[in-house]
Structure 1
Amino acid sequence: MDSGRMSTLAGNAAVPWYRTLSRRQWNVLLASNLGWLFDGFENYALILTAAPALKQLLPAASQPQLSFFVGLIMAINLLGWGIGGLLGGIAADYIGRKRMMMAAILGYSIMTGLSAFAFSWWSFAILRFLVGMTVGSEWAIGSSMVAEIWPDRARGKGAGLMQCGLGVGFFIASFAWLFLSPTGPSAWRYMYLLGVVPALLTLWIRRSVEESEVWKAMAKRRENAKLMVAEGGELAFPERQLARFTLVDLLSDRESFRTTCLVLLMSLATTVGFWSVSTWVPQFVGAVASSRGHDAASWASFAGMAYTAGSITGYVALGFLADALGRKPVTLGFYIGALAFTPLLFFGRHDPVWLLMLAFANAIFSNGQYTWMAVWLPELYPTRIRATAMAFVFNSPRFLAFVGPIVAGSLITALGGYGWAAMTLSSVYLIGVFAAPFLPETRGKPLPA
């Protein structure tokens, strides 16, 4: 379909949104979705296998502190994610979205495969840190590409469809673990060997995905600005911004700094909520099922699948609702929903089947709220710093949130169960409720140039 025809369709509000999209736009969505899907697989594989892996890798004297070490490994993985994600986002603003996406996918495929050969808890920790380093940058790159290439009218839907890849990855990891977990104490190693598969995706991306034209135009302007600086020329203000290091540009601009402070608070709420509360749901349901005489590993897998199905529903729903109702009210609604469903899950009826239904409902809001970042953030920052800003906002909270799993593991031990620990840490969603109203509504507006 030619560009004139696409423009005509895009301008006709009566035409369904999906008919206004070109093959190029669908390819970008598919690449971003699959990249995030494999990210989801890598990270949920850790959630499901950290305890079995550490049972094999920890010395006998450390086994009573298993919950602490599980939290420590998750925290180390999260710390690596924060560092790698920030560096990868900055690189994507300089060398391109497509090249960095390929580098990220190839990197985390290799590192995840190597995790299967860990021989001690500390070698496992180092490898999971490296996995986090390579996984972290993929989200900001994919979200930037979808935002820059999809039309204004459907940008929220595209972001929701991209974000649901994480949930699909979670589901595939849970499904794989259901069959691999009975194979013996080394089953966790097989899970990580499966993580090599995403490397094949880079071959398709190289051939079928085009670089963002918006980024290419900006990169040309940036190169010209740098040449003028090298030649001693005077730059106008917009060119001076292009010549700055992107992270300095992000934090030195007054308006961008205010916006960044607000979205950092919201990102912190979402991130701490997930890593401090949501990651313990499979173990919680498994423990309850075990107390009723059921197999803990199987029910942990069931819980993971139920939670993941809820996550996928939430990811897509937030994107579509944000296009229909606005970014601000929908994001606020998801924070409030997460606050409401956490006590229902951890303090409700302790029947395993009922817990699966509550896990599904809780995940719609607790995990589904992640889509606000893919939808809203690209619309708050100009192209020259978009990937840097998104990576900074998405990953910086991990430098604080990485202590969440450690605190959660300690609270579970100190308070004698999951319920009060989850309730204590879920209060972080209140930060998002208070910060979101101060951001501008951007539904249907063009991206900042």
Structure 2
Amino acid sequence: MTRFDFYQEESDMSGGASEPIQAIDREDEKPWWRIFNRTHWMIFVVASMAWMIDCMDQQIFNLARDPAVEFLVNKELTNIYAPYTTSVFLVGWAIGGLILGSLGDRYGRAKMLLVAILMYAVCTGLSAFAKGFWDFSFYRFITGLGVGGVFGLAVALVSDSVPDRSRAPALGMLQSLSALGNISAGLIGIGVGFLAIRQALPANLQAWQILFLIGGIPALFLAPLLLRINEPQKWVDAKKEGELKGIKFGSYANLLGHPVWRKHAWLGLVACGAGIIGLWGIGNFHPRIVRSIVDAHLAASNLTPEAIAAEKTYWGSVGLFLQNIGGFLGMLVLSKLARVKGRRIALGLALLLSFLTTVMVFRFMREIDQMYWMLPVMGFGQYSVFGVYAIYLPELFPTSLRGTGTSFCYNFGRLLAATAPFTIGQVTRSLGGNIEAFRTSGIAVSFILLLGIIVLPFLPETKGKPLPKD
């Protein structure tokens, strides 16, 4: 029995009304985390860790992608083949998110979250042992399947588990904490790069291989905790009621056949696809710009190719760390704005910031010193949209479709985002294949971010409203 139920029942027996009102008032004045019980905390922490480690895995791929392709293919073709591996990863991400999100609605969020974590942990580690471009791409595809399921399952698990008043701030914090996973990847990359510069890596292992091996470990320690989590009671009750009424959980036919949920799904997809393209199709390729800057600075040095590669790994990791410091602040600030001013205005501002800051870095960042302020500013803009997504998307769909709808918007958008690296690679090749061509193509593709702003007036404002029901 909750505290509210206890005081309400006591009031009914005694006939007095003053004590329940005081109790409810005191409860409403508490910060959102103070009304969590042990079960709420367990679910919130495990879901946040799952998404945090997932994000660390994503960023380790961004750091290791180019040197892996250089090693497995050759340096001259890296600018062409590296974007293809990102496209493969994003396609896997989209497919995995769509499948696991639907299965989470049908069979349970916690169960499917465990499956997703094991998939990306194992195949991240296997990426270190790739022998060529094709098996490397295969491992990235399977990793993408697992990575894609985590966000929709994690936010659905928290949405259906915590008190309503805590839902929006808890989801905003869950997304903001994901930046710690990104920052961890940057720190891991800095450490590996530092060891590579001093030629202290284990024998016969490249820096990119060590990054993938490290990336696969943390999720394996999280799996036992997920085994201890029960499915949310809200989902269990809704599932039983749905079975009596003949409601199919996790049904894409229901999602796309219902006039309201269909509208939310397609418009949410456009809004999400724009932000995802901004980060994954464009922004996460900034390590290539950083590497080109380092190349220019070391052009006159007498360093060996191995030493130059180590320097690039180090500075690429520094850039990732700086980007995600800004990203953490961006998600905190814009998720707070979403709670105070509304979801749509916060998302519109976030998409605009993502566009402006991405263009700034691709056009103007030319020196190492500029990294220290430009990359945090870009991270603030690019990641701010995800702080709003975490709050907004679960509020657009009912319990039977919450994981399905959230994953549809968030992960089907990956299929759109997967075209961006391919497009950038083709435009870069047509413009000469050099770093300036890459900068130009990145700026051109970044205009897609503005499309997400256009659809926002056609989506509902969900601030202050209860979660929708079937």
Deviates more, 1:3-12 or 1:45-54: 3-12
**Partner residue of 2:220?**
199
CA contact (8 A) 1:85 1:395 kept: yes
Structure 2 counterpart of 1:345, one-letter code: V
Alignment correspondent of 2:39:
24
After superposition, what is the alpha-carbon deviation per residue over 1:188-223, rounded to whole angstroms, capped at 9, x for unaligned?
11212221331111112222x332111101111233
**Gapped runs of 5+ residues in structure 1?**
225-238
Task: State how 1:261-280 maps to structure 2 within 5 Å.
Answer: 261-280=266-285
Tell me the residue number matched to 2:441. 421
Tell whether the 8 Å contact from 1:6 to 1:20 is kept in structure 2 after alignment.
no
SS at match of 2:466: coil
Change (3 A) 1:245 1:351: closer
Aligned match for 1:166, one of 163, 173, 178: 178
Which residue of structure 2 lines up, in the alignment, with residue 233 of structure 1?
none
Q: Which structure 2 residue ranges, 5 or more long, are not aligned? A: 8-22, 299-307
Measure how far apart 1:432 and its partner are.
Answer: 0.9
Query: Relative to structure 2, which stretch is displaced further, 288-297 or 264-273?
Result: 288-297
Alignment of 1:41-440 (within 5 A): 41-58=56-73, 60=74, 63-181=75-193, 182=196, 183=201, 186-194=206-214, 195-207=216-228, 209-224=229-244, 239-240=245-246, 242-243=247-248, 246-293=251-298, 295-348=311-364, 350-415=366-431, 416=434, 417=436, 418-440=438-460
TM-score by length of 2: 0.86
Structure 1-normalised TM-score? 0.90
Q: What's the counterpart of residue 441 of structure 1?
A: 461
Instruction: Please give the secondary structure, in 2, of the residue aligned with 1:136.
Output: helix
SS of 2:227's equivalent in the other structure is helix
Question: Once the 2 structures are TM-superposed, how far is the Cα of residue 343 of structure 1 from its aligned partner?
Answer: 2.4
Q: 1:41 is aligned with what amino acid?
A: M
3-state DSSP class of the match of 2:102? Answer: helix
Task: Give the superposition deviation at 1:288.
Answer: 1.6
Maintained 8 Å contact 2:51/2:150: yes
Aligned partners of 1:6 and 1:109: how far apart in 2? 44
Matched, 1:4 2:4: yes
The one-letter code matched in structure 2 to 1:26 is W
Judged with a 3 Å threshold, the aligned counterparts in structure 2 of structure 1 residues 420 and 9 are, in CA distance, closer, same or farther, namely farther
Q: Distance in 2 between matches of 1:206 and 1:375?
A: 26
Contact 1:159 1:374 in 2 (8 A): yes
Contact in 1 for aligned 2:335/2:384 (Cα 8 Å): no
Identity %, equivalent residues: 26
Number of equivalences: 430
Separation of aligned partners in 1, 2:450 and 2:6 = 43
Q: Distance in 2 between matches of 1:329 and 1:89?
A: 27
* Residues 154, 323 of structure 1: 8 Å contact kept: no
Q: CA deviation at 1:111?
A: 1.5
Structure 1 Cα separation of the partners of residues 117 and 151 of structure 2: 11
Q: Residue type matched to 1:202 in 2?
A: A
Give 3-state SS (helix, strand or coil) of 2:30's partner.
Answer: coil
**Structure with bigger gyration radius:** 2
Instruction: Give the aligned CA root-mean-square deviation in angstroms.
Output: 2.1
C-alpha displacement at 1:356, in angstroms?
2.7
SS state at 1:441 partner? coil
CA contact (8 A) 1:156 1:320 kept: no
Find the residue that maps to 1:443 and give its secondary structure. Answer: coil
Q: Return closer, same or farther for 1:216/1:135 CA change in 2, 3 Å cut-off.
A: same
Aligned equivalents of 2:6 and 2:223: distance in 1?
28
Instruction: Report the residue type matching 2:238 in the other structure.
Output: M
State how far apart, in whole Å, the 2-side matches of 1:88 and 1:6 are.
Answer: 38
**Distance of 2:153 and 2:295 partners within structure 1:** 41
Residue deviations 1:167-204 (CA, integer Å, cap 9, x gap) = 22221112111122313762211212221331111112
> Distance in 2 between the 1:129 and 1:38 partners?
18
**Contact 1:346-1:419 within 8 A present in 2 as well:** yes
Equivalent-residue separation in structure 2 for 1:46 and 1:146 (angstroms): 27
Question: Against the structure 1 CA distance between its residues 96 and 3, is the aligned structure 2 distance closer, same or farther, given a 3 Å change threshold?
Answer: farther
